[in-house]
Structure 1
């Protein structure tokens, strides 16, 4: 009798254990059970915020707010937590969502601390947006392990220290945003040796010093924004003949080079105000029919402002406070 009773108990335990995953999956619908458990841990780590009120246990996580599942695999592929009343740090558990293609924490001013190293497990990740937060510490070198990234946005934070030179190892990156931080040191020379795609490069509003690497002459940056730093020396290597630049922004630095030696311009936007750039405005600027915005104010330029082409679209504010520029739209030359 005792043996029969024991057999019944063991059989019941086996049946219950074998049914648990199926019961969980039935309760959570399409949602993968592993992703479901991880998401609830993320919610708990963030203090169960109202922003994630739809993340209710025993419901289908693929219907929850701020995320998206793949229609075929039902795995979580996007986690976008945006503009809510959320405090704390980015939970390390985000690294346990192995199918993530897009990870976004954005406009959450009470999210602090470092980037968790667990994100290096997200080998499928293509979009990483951690911006308008209050992340601190250095920009971690380990981000370069995410070799499939095509968009990296870490701007509007409080990162300090140097820019990791390893970021030049990205081969698919279309845009790199490190602007609006407190980064220091020089721009990595390796950024003149990107393999594969050349990313739009945003490094403005930091505390970067030193010179722009000469290797930048090898890179056809479509957009490069180095403004509002403490850069010195030459920037003429950015003006590549027959280049594909659309936007060059180098304003509010301490750059000093002879602008008259620029032989050809082909871009839509050029802002170089508040530097120590000298020489004259080259005739090449007249030949650039694409130029929509130009600001060379607060420099040390001299000579007659070229006329013709589309030059009449630029008013006096493009030229004021230079050493001895003259001619329309400034005062006549003497």
Structure 2
């Protein structure tokens, strides 16, 4: 298959193919559309994918690809749509992807990605749906993820969180003590009222 150098489209979605992406994919220099989604493919995405410099549509979703997103994907300058969702990709989103000036759809949802979402290039036009259900992404508020914090800010937030947690624990402990004292006092009063007659008779009893 990888010897078909003039192949323009490859659509093999919704099958049960297993294994890794072959390095021979780089031979598809003329390909404009590839869809191998919804299979059982695994392993890391090879950097040789970047050799598909004519490709406009790439769908690798719903497999079990892992590892990092290759930074070299920024060489695929004709890409309009790339779907890498529903895999096990991890690490950071390469900032180099900001160079993809024709990208209209970039779906990285349902992976294990982390750190800051790039904000330059076409990322400015993307929505929160592109990054749903990842491990620990942060970035602009429109992506519905936590704001990015530098080291100093992270330390400040961490210290503030520790102070709040300490106060909350101390306040809870004090509340428990106060409630316990009040409970004991109320129980003692009820017991005294209930046993008032017995206590009075006991006081009036003369020991032999």
Pair 1:242–1:223, CA change in 2 (3 A): closer
Q: Which runs of 5+ in 2 are unaligned?
A: 149-208
Residues 204 and 228 of structure 1 are in contact (CA less than 8 Å); yes or no, is this contact kept in structure 2? yes
Change (3 A) 1:121 1:256: closer
User: Alpha carbons of 1:223 and 1:241: their partners in 2 closer, same or farther (altered >3 Å)?
Assistant: closer
State the match for 1:76 in structure 2: none
Question: Please, which of 205, 208, 221 is the counterpart of residue 89 of structure 2?
Answer: 208
What TM-score, normalized to structure 2? 0.63
Deviation at 1:144, TM superposition (A): 1.6
Which residue number corresponds to residue 278 of structure 1? Answer: 147
For residues 100-126 of structure 1, give each alpha carbon's deviation from its aligned partner in whole angstroms, at most 9, with x where no partner exists. Answer: xxxxxxxxxxxxxxxxxxx12222210
Question: SS in structure 2 opposite 1:256?
Answer: strand
Q: How does 1:83-122 map to 2 (within 5 A)?
A: 119-122=1-4
Q: Which protein shows a greater Rg? A: 2
Aligned length: 147
* Structure 1 residues 228 and 199, CA gap change in structure 2 (3 angstroms): same
Q: Is the 8 A contact 1:236 1:257 kept in 2?
A: no
Residue 166 of structure 1: aligned partner: 48
Corresponding residue for 1:194? Answer: 76
- 3-state SS of the aligned residue for 1:236? coil
CA-to-partner distance for each residue in 1:196-242, whole Å, 9 max, x for gaps? x12411000000000001111222321100000000001133x5379
Q: Which has the higher contact order (CA 8 A, sep 6+)?
A: 2
DSSP 3-state at the match of 1:168: helix
Structure 1 residue runs of 4 or more that deviate by more than 4 Å after TM superposition: 241-248
After TM superposition, give the deviation of residue 245 of structure 1 in Å: 5.4
SS at match of 1:249: helix
Q: Could you list the runs of 5+ residues in structure 1 that have no partner in the other structure?
A: 1-118, 263-271, 280-334
Decide which structure has greater helix share: 2
What is the rounded CA distance, in whole Å, between the counterparts of 2:128 and 2:53 in structure 1? 22
Question: Do the aligned partners of residues 247 and 169 (structure 1) sit closer, same or farther apart at CA in structure 2, a change above 3 Å counting?
Answer: farther
Distance 1:177 1:226 in 2: 11
Find the residue that maps to 1:228 and give its secondary structure: coil
Note closer, same or farther for the CA distance 1:128–1:258 as it changes in structure 2 (3 Å cut): closer
Q: CA RMSD in A?
A: 2.5
